[in-house]
Amino acid sequence: MGKADLHIHTNASDGDLSPEDLIKKVAQKGLKTISITDHDTIKGYELARDLAEENEIELIPGVEISTVWNNREIHVLAYAFDEEDDGFLKLIHNQKNARRKRMKAIVEVLKSEGLDIDYEEVRAESHPGNIGRPHAASVLINKGYVASVSEAFIRYLSTEKIKDIKTEYADVDDVISTVHKAGGVMSIAHPGPLYSQDEVKELLRHSFDGIECIHPSHSYKVQKIFLDLARANNLLVTGGSDFHGSRKSDYDPYLGVVTIGNQFVEALKRSARSKKMMIHQ
Protein backbone atom coordinates (compact mmCIF):
# COMPACT_ATOMS: atom_id res chain seq x y z
CA MET A 1 0.00 0.00 0.00
CA GLY A 2 1.44 3.36 -1.04
CA LYS A 3 2.20 6.11 1.43
CA ALA A 4 0.55 9.52 1.14
CA ASP A 5 1.51 12.97 2.41
CA LEU A 6 -1.33 15.48 2.19
CA HIS A 7 0.42 18.49 3.76
CA ILE A 8 3.43 19.86 1.84
CA HIS A 9 4.58 23.40 1.02
CA THR A 10 6.67 24.85 -1.82
CA ASN A 11 8.16 28.27 -2.51
CA ALA A 12 4.80 29.25 -4.03
CA SER A 13 4.08 30.14 -0.40
CA ASP A 14 6.60 29.75 2.42
CA GLY A 15 8.51 26.59 1.53
CA ASP A 16 12.15 26.28 0.45
CA LEU A 17 11.79 24.15 -2.66
CA SER A 18 10.36 24.93 -6.06
CA PRO A 19 7.44 22.70 -7.07
CA GLU A 20 9.74 20.90 -9.52
CA ASP A 21 12.44 20.22 -6.91
CA LEU A 22 9.79 19.11 -4.45
CA ILE A 23 8.47 16.47 -6.84
CA LYS A 24 12.01 15.13 -7.30
CA LYS A 25 12.44 14.91 -3.52
CA VAL A 26 9.04 13.25 -3.11
CA ALA A 27 9.97 10.65 -5.75
CA GLN A 28 13.22 9.92 -3.89
CA LYS A 29 11.22 9.39 -0.69
CA GLY A 30 8.99 6.82 -2.42
CA LEU A 31 5.73 8.67 -1.85
CA LYS A 32 2.97 7.68 -4.27
CA THR A 33 0.33 10.27 -3.39
CA ILE A 34 0.78 13.85 -2.22
CA SER A 35 -1.03 17.15 -1.95
CA ILE A 36 0.77 20.47 -2.22
CA THR A 37 -1.02 22.66 0.31
CA ASP A 38 0.59 26.05 -0.07
CA HIS A 39 -0.88 28.95 1.87
CA ASP A 40 -3.77 30.59 0.01
CA THR A 41 -2.45 29.68 -3.44
CA ILE A 42 -2.52 26.75 -5.87
CA LYS A 43 0.35 28.02 -8.02
CA GLY A 44 2.72 25.36 -6.67
CA TYR A 45 0.17 22.64 -7.44
CA GLU A 46 -0.25 23.94 -11.00
CA LEU A 47 3.50 24.04 -11.62
CA ALA A 48 3.99 20.52 -10.23
CA ARG A 49 1.21 18.71 -12.13
CA ASP A 50 3.13 17.64 -15.24
CA LEU A 51 6.26 16.49 -13.40
CA ALA A 52 4.18 14.59 -10.87
CA GLU A 53 2.46 12.75 -13.69
CA GLU A 54 5.82 11.95 -15.31
CA ASN A 55 7.00 10.45 -12.01
CA GLU A 56 3.74 8.50 -11.54
CA ILE A 57 2.93 10.47 -8.39
CA GLU A 58 -0.73 11.17 -7.72
CA LEU A 59 -1.09 14.88 -7.01
CA ILE A 60 -4.36 15.80 -5.29
CA PRO A 61 -5.41 19.47 -5.51
CA GLY A 62 -4.84 21.10 -2.13
CA VAL A 63 -4.45 24.43 -0.36
CA GLU A 64 -4.03 25.62 3.24
CA ILE A 65 -6.38 28.54 3.73
CA SER A 66 -6.08 31.25 6.37
CA THR A 67 -9.52 32.03 7.70
CA VAL A 68 -11.31 33.68 10.62
CA TRP A 69 -13.15 31.82 13.39
CA ASN A 70 -14.29 33.42 16.65
CA ASN A 71 -12.28 36.57 15.78
CA ARG A 72 -9.19 34.40 15.51
CA GLU A 73 -7.02 33.43 12.55
CA ILE A 74 -7.01 29.68 11.95
CA HIS A 75 -5.76 27.44 9.15
CA VAL A 76 -7.90 24.93 7.28
CA LEU A 77 -7.05 22.45 4.53
CA ALA A 78 -9.03 22.08 1.30
CA TYR A 79 -8.64 19.07 -1.00
CA ALA A 80 -9.82 17.63 -4.31
CA PHE A 81 -11.69 20.77 -5.39
CA ASP A 82 -12.24 21.91 -8.97
CA GLU A 83 -9.26 24.24 -9.32
CA GLU A 84 -10.98 26.11 -12.17
CA ASP A 85 -14.15 26.91 -10.21
CA ASP A 86 -14.86 30.65 -10.40
CA GLY A 87 -15.94 30.97 -6.77
CA PHE A 88 -12.83 29.17 -5.56
CA LEU A 89 -10.51 31.27 -7.72
CA LYS A 90 -12.15 34.46 -6.43
CA LEU A 91 -11.60 33.28 -2.85
CA ILE A 92 -7.89 32.63 -3.50
CA HIS A 93 -7.49 36.02 -5.20
CA ASN A 94 -9.06 37.80 -2.23
CA GLN A 95 -6.87 35.86 0.18
CA LYS A 96 -3.73 37.00 -1.66
CA ASN A 97 -4.78 40.63 -1.31
CA ALA A 98 -5.61 40.12 2.37
CA ARG A 99 -2.14 38.68 2.94
CA ARG A 100 -0.50 41.76 1.42
CA LYS A 101 -2.53 44.14 3.57
CA ARG A 102 -1.79 42.14 6.70
CA MET A 103 1.95 42.13 6.00
CA LYS A 104 1.96 45.90 5.54
CA ALA A 105 0.33 46.19 8.98
CA ILE A 106 2.87 43.75 10.48
CA VAL A 107 5.74 45.78 9.07
CA GLU A 108 4.32 48.94 10.66
CA VAL A 109 4.18 47.19 14.05
CA LEU A 110 7.80 46.07 13.69
CA LYS A 111 8.87 49.58 12.70
CA SER A 112 7.12 50.99 15.77
CA GLU A 113 9.35 48.70 17.86
CA GLY A 114 12.47 50.24 16.33
CA LEU A 115 13.27 47.57 13.73
CA ASP A 116 14.68 48.63 10.38
CA ILE A 117 12.34 46.76 8.04
CA ASP A 118 10.42 47.70 4.91
CA TYR A 119 7.47 46.04 3.18
CA GLU A 120 9.32 45.88 -0.14
CA GLU A 121 12.11 43.89 1.52
CA VAL A 122 9.59 41.34 2.75
CA ARG A 123 7.90 41.21 -0.64
CA ALA A 124 11.27 40.52 -2.26
CA GLU A 125 11.84 37.61 0.15
CA SER A 126 8.46 36.13 -0.79
CA HIS A 127 9.16 36.01 -4.53
CA PRO A 128 7.67 34.04 -6.22
CA GLY A 129 5.38 32.97 -3.40
CA ASN A 130 2.40 34.27 -1.44
CA ILE A 131 3.66 36.64 1.24
CA GLY A 132 3.62 35.56 4.89
CA ARG A 133 5.34 35.96 8.27
CA PRO A 134 8.19 33.53 7.43
CA HIS A 135 9.31 36.02 4.79
CA ALA A 136 9.41 38.79 7.40
CA ALA A 137 11.40 36.38 9.57
CA SER A 138 13.93 35.98 6.74
CA VAL A 139 14.43 39.76 6.63
CA LEU A 140 14.96 39.87 10.40
CA ILE A 141 17.54 37.07 10.11
CA ASN A 142 19.33 38.80 7.22
CA LYS A 143 19.59 42.00 9.28
CA GLY A 144 20.92 40.22 12.35
CA TYR A 145 17.96 40.86 14.64
CA VAL A 146 17.44 37.13 15.19
CA ALA A 147 19.33 33.92 14.46
CA SER A 148 16.44 31.73 13.33
CA VAL A 149 12.86 31.67 12.09
CA SER A 150 11.66 30.31 15.44
CA GLU A 151 13.39 33.15 17.30
CA ALA A 152 11.80 35.68 14.93
CA PHE A 153 8.35 34.31 15.69
CA ILE A 154 8.91 34.12 19.44
CA ARG A 155 10.40 37.62 19.79
CA TYR A 156 8.60 39.62 17.12
CA LEU A 157 6.04 37.84 14.94
CA SER A 158 3.71 36.19 17.47
CA THR A 159 3.26 39.08 19.88
CA GLU A 160 -0.13 40.33 21.04
CA LYS A 161 0.26 43.39 18.79
CA ILE A 162 0.68 41.13 15.77
CA LYS A 163 -2.18 38.89 16.84
CA ASP A 164 -4.44 41.93 17.26
CA ILE A 165 -4.02 42.98 13.63
CA LYS A 166 -7.38 42.65 11.92
CA THR A 167 -7.25 40.61 8.75
CA GLU A 168 -9.50 40.54 5.72
CA TYR A 169 -9.38 36.75 5.47
CA ALA A 170 -12.68 35.07 4.64
CA ASP A 171 -14.89 33.75 7.43
CA VAL A 172 -14.59 30.01 8.04
CA ASP A 173 -18.18 29.30 6.96
CA ASP A 174 -17.64 31.19 3.70
CA VAL A 175 -14.46 29.22 3.01
CA ILE A 176 -16.14 25.88 3.68
CA SER A 177 -19.14 26.81 1.52
CA THR A 178 -16.92 27.96 -1.37
CA VAL A 179 -14.79 24.81 -1.31
CA HIS A 180 -17.85 22.55 -1.09
CA LYS A 181 -19.40 24.34 -4.07
CA ALA A 182 -16.16 23.60 -5.93
CA GLY A 183 -16.58 19.90 -5.12
CA GLY A 184 -13.84 19.83 -2.51
CA VAL A 185 -13.56 18.66 1.08
CA MET A 186 -12.38 20.52 4.18
CA SER A 187 -10.17 19.41 7.07
CA ILE A 188 -9.13 21.16 10.29
CA ALA A 189 -5.36 21.71 10.09
CA HIS A 190 -2.97 20.49 12.85
CA PRO A 191 -5.46 20.92 15.73
CA GLY A 192 -3.28 19.37 18.43
CA PRO A 193 -1.14 22.36 19.45
CA LEU A 194 -3.80 24.96 18.68
CA TYR A 195 -7.16 23.98 20.17
CA SER A 196 -8.69 22.38 23.23
CA GLN A 197 -10.90 19.33 22.74
CA ASP A 198 -13.97 21.51 23.25
CA GLU A 199 -12.74 23.97 20.61
CA VAL A 200 -12.24 21.15 18.10
CA LYS A 201 -15.78 19.93 18.74
CA GLU A 202 -17.05 23.49 18.30
CA LEU A 203 -15.13 23.80 15.02
CA LEU A 204 -16.68 20.57 13.77
CA ARG A 205 -20.10 22.20 13.93
CA HIS A 206 -19.01 24.23 10.89
CA SER A 207 -19.50 21.45 8.31
CA PHE A 208 -15.89 20.27 8.19
CA ASP A 209 -15.44 16.95 6.42
CA GLY A 210 -12.32 15.82 8.25
CA ILE A 211 -9.56 16.32 10.80
CA GLU A 212 -5.80 16.38 10.22
CA CYS A 213 -5.11 13.58 12.69
CA ILE A 214 -1.55 12.78 11.58
CA HIS A 215 0.94 15.65 11.93
CA PRO A 216 4.50 16.03 13.30
CA SER A 217 3.18 18.15 16.19
CA HIS A 218 0.86 15.31 17.30
CA SER A 219 2.16 12.69 19.69
CA TYR A 220 0.88 9.13 19.34
CA LYS A 221 -1.61 9.84 22.14
CA VAL A 222 -2.89 12.99 20.40
CA GLN A 223 -3.13 11.14 17.07
CA LYS A 224 -5.26 8.49 18.71
CA ILE A 225 -7.59 11.08 20.25
CA PHE A 226 -8.25 12.64 16.86
CA LEU A 227 -8.50 9.32 15.05
CA ASP A 228 -11.13 8.19 17.56
CA LEU A 229 -12.96 11.52 17.18
CA ALA A 230 -12.93 11.19 13.39
CA ARG A 231 -14.29 7.65 13.51
CA ALA A 232 -16.98 8.55 16.04
CA ASN A 233 -18.22 11.39 13.82
CA ASN A 234 -17.76 9.66 10.45
CA LEU A 235 -15.13 12.21 9.42
CA LEU A 236 -12.27 11.95 6.94
CA VAL A 237 -8.74 11.44 8.27
CA THR A 238 -6.04 13.60 6.71
CA GLY A 239 -2.39 14.04 7.56
CA GLY A 240 1.13 14.70 6.41
CA SER A 241 4.55 16.07 7.20
CA ASP A 242 3.82 19.83 6.89
CA PHE A 243 7.12 19.92 4.99
CA HIS A 244 8.52 23.38 4.26
CA GLY A 245 12.23 22.64 3.92
CA SER A 246 15.07 22.75 6.40
CA ARG A 247 15.30 26.55 6.59
CA LYS A 248 11.61 27.15 7.19
CA SER A 249 10.51 24.68 9.88
CA ASP A 250 11.53 21.80 12.11
CA TYR A 251 9.47 19.35 10.07
CA ASP A 252 12.02 18.70 7.29
CA PRO A 253 12.93 15.16 8.48
CA TYR A 254 9.30 14.05 8.42
CA LEU A 255 8.81 14.09 4.63
CA GLY A 256 8.24 10.46 3.69
CA VAL A 257 7.92 9.51 7.37
CA VAL A 258 4.76 11.20 8.65
CA THR A 259 2.24 9.79 6.21
CA ILE A 260 -1.26 8.34 6.00
CA GLY A 261 -2.51 5.11 4.47
CA ASN A 262 -4.12 4.85 1.06
CA GLN A 263 -7.48 3.91 2.61
CA PHE A 264 -7.80 7.45 3.98
CA VAL A 265 -6.92 8.96 0.60
CA GLU A 266 -9.53 6.82 -1.14
CA ALA A 267 -12.17 7.91 1.39
CA LEU A 268 -11.27 11.55 0.74
CA LYS A 269 -11.56 11.10 -3.02
CA ARG A 270 -14.89 9.30 -2.69
CA SER A 271 -16.26 12.15 -0.59
CA ALA A 272 -15.14 14.74 -3.15
CA ARG A 273 -16.64 12.71 -6.02
CA SER A 274 -19.97 12.61 -4.17
CA LYS A 275 -19.90 16.39 -3.73
CA LYS A 276 -19.16 16.91 -7.41
CA MET A 277 -22.00 14.55 -8.41
CA MET A 278 -24.44 16.48 -6.23
CA ILE A 279 -23.31 19.77 -7.78
CA HIS A 280 -23.86 18.51 -11.32
CA GLN A 281 -27.23 16.84 -10.73
**Looking at residue 138, which CATH number applies to its domain?**
1.10.150.650
- Tell me the pLDDT tens digit for each residue of 227-271: 999 999 999 999 999 999 876 566 678 999 999 999 999 999 999
Of 142, 163, 184, the position where a domain reaches its end is 163
Mean predicted lDDT score pLDDT of the chain: 94
Which value, in Å, is the radius of gyration of the alpha carbons in the chain? Answer: 18
CA atoms within 13 A on the CB side of 273: 6
| pLDDT for position 166 | 86
The predicted model gives 41-62 an average pLDDT of: 97
Of 163, 191, 215, the position where a domain reaches its end is 163
Asked if 159 and 173 sit in the same domain, the reply is no
Classify residue 88: in a domain, yes or no.
Answer: no
- Tell me the pLDDT tens digit for each residue of 63-75: 999 999 998 899 9
- What is the distance between the alpha carbons of residues 157 and 153, in angstroms, rounded to a whole number? 4
Domain with 253, as residue range(s), is 3-82+169-279
pTM assigned to the model: 0.91
| pLDDT for position 175 | 98
Do residues 90 and 96 make contact, with C-beta atoms less than 8 angstroms apart?
no
Question: How many domains in the chain?
Answer: 2
- % of residues, the chain, pLDDT over 90: 85
**Looking at residue 218, which CATH number applies to its domain?**
3.20.20.140
Of 130, 163, 196, the position where a domain reaches its end is 163
